[in-house]
Structure 1
Amino acid sequence: MAYSLVVRFTARDAAAAAAFDHLAAETLEGIKASEPGTLVYVSHTPVDEPTVRVFYELYEDREAFLQHEEQPHVKRFLTERGQHLIQTEVTFLDEVVGKRPSSARER
């Protein structure tokens, strides 16, 4: 079963948001290179909230998420992100219905 979450990050200010975006982009390069079980990892900026970032993450399964959390690039992100942020909210999601990327295994 797919495993997903939404994370809402609020940066201290515009400069911190830009630094956070840079850190996220570096992390994404590691994800692309070494995490086949990470199906979707996207950062969004809500309209009219320039210092907020909302990540949507979709994993093949819970094991893929746990493997993601153990990667060096993710550990670096988790360690360094706090200097840019004033708030982090995580919501884990249970899938009801949907369309997954074609690379997702059917379960």
Structure 2
Amino acid sequence: MKFPHIALPPPATSAALRRHRSTLRARVKALRSEPDRKFVNDFPELVAAVEASFRHEESMLELLGDACLHPRRADHAVILCALHRTAPRVESGDVGLGRQVADALEHVLTWQD
């Protein structure tokens, strides 16, 4: 699907992407502070939120015709693969692994800003 190119000022676009990413980081941070049982229950919701957030971000970049779209999609694919491989183990009770992945995810989301 090809979207029309829209011209938003780069600072406005960057601010919107940073705000969106900040919201996702806050969600990861909140999950990390939860007790183990709640962490296990909420981890799948975090994975779904990351998927939705990445889709939104990629749609914005596609609309803008941004050159970083393809490298960002590749990064997103790696992150989502790790989350999907981890999720069954977390749901089976491996909270330690889930917390390691959540820590790494928060750092990656900060780095990608």
Please state which band the TM-score falls in when normalised by the shorter chain. Answer: 0.3 to 0.5
Higher gyration radius (CA) = 2
RCO greater where, 1 or 2, for CA within 8 Å and sep 6 or more? 1
Q: Which has the higher helix share?
A: 2
Q: Which has the higher strand share?
A: 1
Q: Could you state the TM-score of these two structures normalised by the residue count of structure 1?
A: 0.34
Q: Could you state the TM-score of these two structures normalised by the residue count of structure 2?
A: 0.33
